[in-house]
Amino acid sequence: MIHLLFFPLLAILAIASPLESRAPKYNVTAMNIALNRGSGILGSYSKCSGSLCSWMSKISDDTKLIDISIPGTHDTASWNYTPLKQIEYLKYTNLIYPSSIYKCNKESIFKQLQSGNRAFDLRIGLSPKNSNDLIFFHSEAILDLNSKFEDILFGFWRFLDENPTETLIISIKDENSTFGSYNILQQNIYNTLTTNQAKIYINPTESISSINLSSVRGKMVILRRFNSPNNIGIDLTNNFKDNNEDFQIINSSPDGDDNIFIEDLYEPFTNFGLKSHVNKKLNVTISHILNSSNKKNGEGLYITYASSEVISQLLIPEIMSNGLIIPGVNLGLKNWLINGKGKGLKQKGIIFTDFASDTTGLVEAIIA
């Protein structure tokens, strides 16, 4: 009888033991606090479901990270910036442009992840309520006073734990030091990225060229757009040109130099009229993606910002992306990728978009 009971017990233990290896790498209480406090930027948590939650699982482990086509969101945290929030924060910002000028997305970060985005553009500043807290800005606009930078990192870590085949590219810019100084801001960003908890999820590399996907699955890679007291991530601070359609950064690191090619023509001013501005932005976007796809494997990292605005003509990001009567940049890009000369292209690099969720199939077209 003892033996008969013993074997079922062994079977139960054999089934139960792998649960330990799937235990979270984070403090559960800290995670719950972060998700609650950060919901104004993260959105409401729900476990990612659908094929786009693990699309990187189909890519070979030995593929270089710089040779993958990666969709991302520009000004990621701006999705929930409303006129009411702007009015609420007037005592800190005074009068600024209308909220629609600063808003570049409609989906929360959790929804952006579920939609297949794997690159995120985070703009950080010091909080007017506590100069040690890091919150999110777009230029002078405070996007949310409650959500902290560390909360959003916890949200990314939750996603990575549940989707270990994926990797996230996190661009971090020191956007606003109105309520402190850039030295304090940069030090606080560095401190947040180098806690014992953060080190579990953040790949420490300073060079991206040689990274295989296998080494960063379940982890984050940092694109650094802030001067750091100590080196961390891929340095994009040297010669990042403003409003430029094609420029190169050479990132020097102990592991060797990275050639990084960037398109960031965010004010594609031409003649008067939406069509001319959309066409110009679309053309430089397509040209840069073509350059990326035509490179040799491992030749360099290409970053394309498909985002734009022409504020002097009241063409806010949503209009430039979605169009108004005439199609915007996003539909033009999708059609080019699906039915035009962009069909079948690989290694398109990182492509940051505005309002991609309004153009069904755009993210899938970038991944394809």
pLDDT bracket for residue 256 (50, 70, 90): confident
Residues 135-162 as b or e (16 or more Cβ within 10 Å = b):
bbbbeebbbbbebbbbbbbbbbbbbbbe
Over residues 241-270, mean pLDDT:
94
Give the Cα separation of 220 and 353 in Å (integer): 20
Over residues 275-303, mean pLDDT:
96
Over residues 292-309, mean pLDDT:
95
Could you give the percent of the chain with pLDDT greater than 70?
Answer: 94
CB 293 within 8 A of CB 346: yes
pLDDT, averaged across the chain: 93
pLDDT tops 60 at residue 367 = yes
pLDDT tops 50 at residue 154 = yes
pLDDT tens-place string over residues 205-240: 999 998 999 999 999 999 999 999 998 999 999 999
Query: Where exactly are the structural domains of the chain?
Result: 64-367
pLDDT of residue 253: 87
CATH class of 64-367: alpha beta
Give the Cα separation of 171 and 359 in Å (integer): 23
* Total residues belonging to the chain: 368
pLDDT tens-place string over residues 110-145: 999 999 999 999 999 999 999 899 999 999 999 999
CB 265 within 8 A of CB 247: no
User: Strand, coil or helix: what is 194?
Assistant: coil
pLDDT of residue 46: 94
pLDDT tops 90 at residue 319 = yes
pLDDT bracket for residue 22 (50, 70, 90): low
pLDDT bracket for residue 7 (50, 70, 90): very low
Could you give the percent of the chain with pLDDT greater than 90?
Answer: 88
**pTM here?**
0.93
- β-pair type (326-327, 323-324): antiparallel
pLDDT of residue 363: 98
